[in-house]
Structure 1
Amino acid sequence: MSSTITYTVTGMSCGHCENSVSQELATLAGVTEVSADAKAGTVTVSTSAQLDDELVRAAVDEAGYELVGRAA
């Protein structure tokens, strides 16, 4: 089972921000691809397993940003 989820993240403003968030999320079990977009304020995560939103929130917090929730 693979899925792609887009989250809204606040505080990202540049490529360094995108890289920080992407690197943290890439360490989560099952994550196969991460694409952060500072301009849109989103991060899209592709995963091969079910992903716990709280683990995603913790990884984004660790990078220094805030996960608002899943994007519509």
Structure 2
Amino acid sequence: MGIGDDPRYNKSPCFDPFPFPAEVGEPLKDKIRTEAEALDALRKRVLESHEDLTLTKLYNVLEALREGRARHA
């Protein structure tokens, strides 16, 4: 494990994938999948077109827009 107080990975439920509820029907799963893929594609396009924009900065901009502290470009 290392010597001293070396950091190490501790698996916890926090890092487990979120299970999709079994009782959700296929039409709703398809709708959620479609929306999630569109959101991911948009996020990737925005990050590609702004080299200095990290994922954290992207969410900070989104929060500012929602709070009315930033303008759309």
TM over 0.5: no
RCO greater where, 1 or 2, for CA within 8 Å and sep 6 or more? 1
TM-score normalized by the length of structure 1: 0.26
Greater C-alpha Rg = 2
Instruction: Choose between structure 1 and 2: higher helix proportion.
Output: 2
Instruction: Choose between structure 1 and 2: higher strand proportion.
Output: 1
